[in-house]
Amino acid sequence: MKLSAVIALVATACTSANIIFPFVQPTCNHESVGWTGCLRGQQCLEDNTCVPTYATSSFESRDTTPRTDGRCGSDFSGATCAPKGAYGGCCSKYGHCGKTLDHCLVSNGCQSGCTEPAGTTAAPLPTTAPASVAGPGVSNSEPVIGPLSSTAAGDGATGPVTTDGTCGASKGGTMYGFCGKTSAHCGEGCQSGPCSQAPISPAPSAAPAPQNSNPGSFRTVGQSGVPAMHAALLPNGRVVFLDKLSNGQYAYSAEYDPESNTYTPLAYKTNAFCSGGSFLSNGTVLNVGGNAPLTWLDDTVGNGFQGIRYLTRSSSDASQDGENWNEPGNQLNTARWYPTLQTMPDGSIFVASGSLNGLNPTVLANNNPTYEILSAEGVTLGQSITMQLLVKAQPYYMYPFIHLLPDGTLFVFVSKSSETFDVANQKTTKSFPDLPGDYRTYPNAGGSVMLPLSAQNNWTPEVMICGGGAYQDITSPTDPSCGRIAPLVPNAAWEMDAMPEGRGMVEAVLLPDGTVLWVNGAQKGAEGFNLATDPAFEVLIYNPKATLGQRWTTGASSTIPRLYHSVALLLLDGTLMIAGSNPDQMPVVAPDVDPQGFHTEFAVEIYTPPYLSGDNANRRPTAITLSKLDIETGVSTFTISFTAPGNAQKVQVALYHGGFVTHAVHMSHRMLFLETQGWKAGATEQTITVAGPPNNNVAPPGPYVVYVVVDGVPGVGQFVMVS
Ligand SMILES: *[C@@H]1O[C@H](CO)[C@@H](O)[C@H](O)[C@H]1NC(C)=O
Instruction: Report d(CA 226, CA 252) in Å as an integer.
Output: 6
Q: Give the residue-averaged pLDDT of 659-671.
A: 98
If we measure between CA atoms, which residue out of 641, 673, 646, 668 comes closest to residue 657? 668
Question: What confidence score (pLDDT) does residue 199 get?
Answer: 55
Give the domain extent around 675: 619-722
**Nearest in space to 44 (alpha carbons), one of 62, 20, 26:** 26
Per-residue pLDDT tens over the stretch 348-401: 999 999 999 888 887 788 899 999 999 999 999 999 999 999 988 888 899 999
Half-sphere exposure of 64 (CA within 13 A, CB side): 23
Its sign, for the CA torsion 461, 462, 468, 470, is positive
In whole angstroms, give the CA distance from residue 442 to residue 42.
34
Report d(CA 327, CA 265) in Å as an integer. Answer: 16
- Cα dist. 234→386, 575, 672 in Å? 33, 15, 19
Q: Which of 281, 282, 348 to mutate to test the pocket of ligand 1 (most atoms within 8 A of CB)?
A: 282
Task: Give 662 Cα–ligand 1 centroid separation in angstroms.
Answer: 23
Q: How far is CA 237 from CA 506, 570, 702, in A?
A: 25, 10, 15
In-domain check, residue 238: no
Strands 718-722 and 630-631: parallel
Q: DSSP alpha helices (H): ranges in 21-166?
A: 101-104, 131-134
Most ligand 1 atoms within 8 A of CB, residue of 288, 308, 312, 320 to mutate: 312
Distance of CA 205 to the CA centre of its chain: 27
Q: pTM here?
A: 0.81
Contact between 8 and 20 (Cβ < 8 Å)? no
Least confidently predicted of 79-83, 151-155, 170-174, 686-690: 151-155
Of the ranges 47-51, 281-285, 290-294, 561-565, which one carries the lowest mean pLDDT score?
47-51
SS3 call for 506: coil
Confirm if 704 and 696 have CB atoms less than 8 A apart. no
Ligand 1: distance of its center to the CA of 626 in Å?
25
DSSP assignment letter at 80: B
pLDDT at 182: 54
Mutational pocket test of ligand 1: of 377, 630, 719, the residue with most ligand atoms within 8 Å of the beta carbon: 377
The per-residue pLDDT for 454 is 98
Which is more confident, 623 or 264?
A: 623
The span from the CA of 643 to the CA of 625, in Å, is 10
Which residues are CB-neighbours of 630 under 8 A, at least 6 positions away? 720, 721, 723
Query: Residue 472: what pLDDT?
Result: 87
| Residue 159 is assigned to a structural domain of this protein | no
Q: How many angstroms does the Cα of residue 284 sit away from the middle of ligand 1?
A: 6
**CATH number of the domain enclosing 648:** 2.60.40.10
What is the chain's mean pLDDT, rounded? 81
| Assigned domain for 630 exists | yes
Q: What is the pLDDT of residue 51?
A: 62
Please say whether the beta carbons of 427 and 410 come within 8 A.
no
Alpha carbon 168 to its chain centroid, in Å, reads 30
Of residues 111 and 643, more confidence is placed in 643
pLDDT tens by residue, 325-342: 999 999 999 999 999 999
Query: Measured in angstroms, how far is the CA atom of residue 583 from the centroid of ligand 1?
Result: 34
Q: How far is the CA of 273 from the centre of ligand 1 (A)?
A: 23
Among 308, 310, 311, the mutation site with the greatest number of ligand 1 atoms within 8 A of its Cβ is 310
Among the listed residues 670, 19, 598, the one whose alpha carbon sits nearest the alpha carbon of residue 405: 670
Lowest mean pLDDT among 82-86, 290-294, 627-631, 674-678: 82-86
Asked if the structure places residue 688 within a domain, the reply is: yes
Please tell me the distance from the alpha carbon of residue 85 to that of residue 482, in angstroms, as a whole number: 57
CB 37 within 8 A of CB 28: yes
pLDDT greater than 60 at residue 212: yes
The CA 321 to ligand 1 mean position distance, Å, reads 15
Residue 653's nearest CA partner among 513, 461, 449, 457 is 513
Q: What whole-number distance in Å separates Cα of residue 137 and Cα of residue 325? A: 28
Residue 289 confidence (pLDDT) = 97
What distance in Å separates the CA atoms of residue 325 and residue 308, rounded to the nearest whole number? 10
For residue 284, is pLDDT > 70?
yes
Residue 644 lies in a domain: yes
Q: Give the pLDDT score at 31.
A: 74
Say whether 287 sits in a helix, a strand or coil.
strand
Residues with CB under 6 A from ligand 1: 280, 282-284, 310, 312, 377-378
Q: Which atom of ligand 1 lies nearest, measured to the CA of 378?
A: 4
Beta bridge partners of 412: 402, 419
Contact 199, 191 (CB under 8 A): no
- Residue 439 and residue 203: Cα distance in Å, rounded? 12
Ligand 1 centroid – CA 281 distance (Å): 9
Query: Do 544 and 452 contact (CB within 8 A), yes or no?
Result: yes
Q: Which atom of ligand 1 is nearest to the CA of 283?
A: 13
- The residue ranking higher by pLDDT, 610 or 143, is 610
Q: Identify each DSSP E strand in 120-249 by its residue range.
A: 217-223, 230-233, 239-242
Helices of type H across 369-438: 388-393
Tell which atom from ligand 1 comes closest to the C-alpha of 282: 1
Residue 317 CA, ligand 1 centroid: distance in Å: 14
Dist. CA 234 → ligand 1 center (Å): 14
Alpha helices, H only, 380-441:
388-393
Is 676 part of any domain? Answer: yes
Structural domains counted in the chain = 1
For residue 56, name the pLDDT band (cuts at 50, 70, 90). Answer: very low
pLDDT value, residue 597 = 79
Nearest atom within ligand 1 for CA of residue 328: 7
Taking the C-alpha atoms of 15, 16, 17 and 19 in order, what is their torsion angle to the nearest 10 degrees? -110
CA distances from 656 to 459, 574, 670 (A): 14, 11, 6
DSSP for residue 161: P
CA distances from 599 to 23, 67, 244, 520, 585 (A): 15, 31, 15, 15, 11
The separation between CA 439 and the C-alpha centre of its own chain, rounded to angstroms, equals 19
Instruction: Establish whether the linkage from the previous residue to 443 is cis, with ω within 30° of 0.
Output: yes
Q: Measure CA 314 to chain center.
A: 22
Count Cβ atoms below 10 Å from residue 475 Cβ, excluding itself.
14
The 10s digit of each residue's pLDDT in 597-650 is 788 899 999 999 999 999 999 999 999 999 999 999 998 899 999 999 999 999
- Provide, rounded to the nearest whole percent, the portion of the chain with pLDDT above 70: 71
Query: What pLDDT sits at residue 131?
Result: 34
CA distance 231 to 446: 18
Give Cα 552 distance to the centre of its chain: 24
What is the distance between the alpha carbons of residues 684 and 76, in angstroms, rounded to a whole number?
A: 60
In a domain, 311, yes or no: no
* CA nearest ligand 1 atom 4, residue: 377
Asked whether residue 696 is assigned to any structural domain, the reply reads yes
Bridge pairing between strands 651-657 and 670-677 = antiparallel
pLDDT digit string, tens, across residues 529-580 = 889 999 999 999 999 999 999 999 999 999 999 999 999 999 999 999 999 9
Ligand 1 probe mutation, 278, 279, 280, 317, most atoms within 8 A of CB? 280
Answer yes or no: is pLDDT of 473 > 80. Answer: yes
Q: Kindly report the length of the chain.
A: 723
Q: Whose CA is nearest to atom 3 of ligand 1?
A: 377
In sign, the C-alpha dihedral spanning 523, 449, 368, 152 is negative
pLDDT tens figures, 495-523: 999 999 999 999 999 999 999 999 999 99
- Positive or negative CA dihedral for 164, 170, 176, 177? positive
